[in-house]
Amino acid sequence: MMRARAVALALALVPSVAAAQFNLNLNKILDTGKNLREATRDVDEKQEAEIGSEYAAVLVGASPLLANPEVQRYVNRVGRWLSLNSERPDLNWEFGVLDTGTVNAFSTPGGYVLITRGLLERMRSEAELAGVLAHEVAHVVKKHHLNAIRKGKGMEAGANVLSLYLDQQRSAAAKEKLVGGIKEVMLRGLDKDDEFEADRMGVVIAARAGYDPFGLPSVVQMLQGLNPKDSDLALMFETHPDPGSRLDALDRAMGARLDKFAKQPQAAERYAGAMRAKP
């Protein structure tokens, strides 16, 4: 499993988030619940988790986990609550913080979600954190990364990367090809349509979990005001649509339909308190 085992991640729920929101059928509002098992249906959940652990190992190998158990537990509690409000609550979800000043968040097949210290330091509320984590949860729900690996160097070649790893006793050669495909996806990023879909689903998951759904748009707006040439932001801007396009797409999708959920908690004080936690 992921090298994240070095940090204990708690699995408790966020205590003050309204559990009643769990049953909100917001997928009907934004039409995000279709075809959750489209494509990659030949990869079962156990195999998906194996691929995800390899993917997560690459991420943790590039940047270590933050040595602050309190912050790790806090992010994991928020993430687990969001995952329970997603369409795939039974995955073995794990959340963690990477100790790097770069601004980004990542997810892998099977339910691994990682966010950077640099992004945490720029956010202002738990609702913003929830929006970012929900965006990553949506990528996992829709199996975007598996599809991207499959398309790595042409549909047929990409599919062979997965089959080599899954069917040939996870050999060293197959693992090397898989890791190469993973790194290619990390550098190239997902399709723009996948990112826009994850944004739409992310605001739904956050709202269903009892958060102000405008947390994610707030983070994207913050990114819009940053210098894309900053080295800490380079990968984020290279692998995601520009923030303006994301905001426009979210505005078209949300309109005024989620306004009634804007009164749900932002939990800014709780977020600030968690970020002050000492290692």
Instruction: Give the rounded percent of residues in the chain with a pLDDT score beyond 90.
Output: 65
Identity at 65, one-letter amino acid code: L
**What predicted TM-score, i.e. pTM, was given to this entire model?**
0.85
| pLDDT(224) > 50 | yes
| pLDDT(73) > 80 | yes
Secondary structure (3-state) at 113: strand
Name every residue whose Cβ is closer than 8 Å to that of residue 68 and which is 6 or more positions away in sequence.
97, 277, 278, 279
| pLDDT(65) > 60 | yes
- Mean pLDDT of all residues in the chain? 85
Over residues 65-76, the mean pLDDT reads 98
> What is the separation of C-alpha 233 from the centre of its chain, rounded to a whole number of angstroms?
17
pLDDT of residue 115: 98
Secondary structure (3-state) at 114: strand
pLDDT of residue 167: 72
pLDDT of residue 246: 97
pLDDT of residue 126: 98
Among 46-50, 88-92, 212-216, name the one with the lowest average pLDDT.
Answer: 46-50
| Spatial contact of 266 and 209, defined as CB atoms under 8 Å apart | no
| Spatial contact of 88 and 140, defined as CB atoms under 8 Å apart | yes
Among 94-98, 142-146, 161-165, 204-208, name the one with the lowest average pLDDT.
Answer: 161-165
At residue 38 the predicted structure's pLDDT band, cuts being 50, 70 and 90, is very low
Rounded distance, CA 113 to CA 138, Å? Answer: 11
Q: In what order do the strands lie in the sheet with 112-116?
A: 94-98, 112-116, 105-108
Strand partners, 65: 98
| pLDDT(13) > 60 | no
- What angle, rounded to 10 degrees, do the helices at 215-224 and 243-254 form? 150
| pLDDT(149) > 60 | yes
At residue 99 the predicted structure's pLDDT band, cuts being 50, 70 and 90, is very high
Among 22-31, 209-218, 257-266, 270-279, name the one with the lowest average pLDDT.
Answer: 22-31
| pLDDT(196) > 60 | yes
Higher pLDDT among residues 214 and 169, named by residue: 214
> Within a 10 A sphere around the Cβ of 108, how many other Cβ atoms?
29
Higher pLDDT among residues 159 and 100, named by residue: 100
| Spatial contact of 99 and 41, defined as CB atoms under 8 Å apart | no
Over residues 209-218, the mean pLDDT reads 98
Instruction: Give the rounded percent of residues in the chain with a pLDDT score beyond 70.
Output: 82
Over residues 69-86, the mean pLDDT reads 98
pLDDT tens-digit series, residues 230-266: 999 999 999 999 999 999 999 999 999 999 999 999 9
Q: Would you call 175 exposed, middle or buried from its count of C-beta atoms within 10 A (0-12, 13-18, 19+)?
A: middle
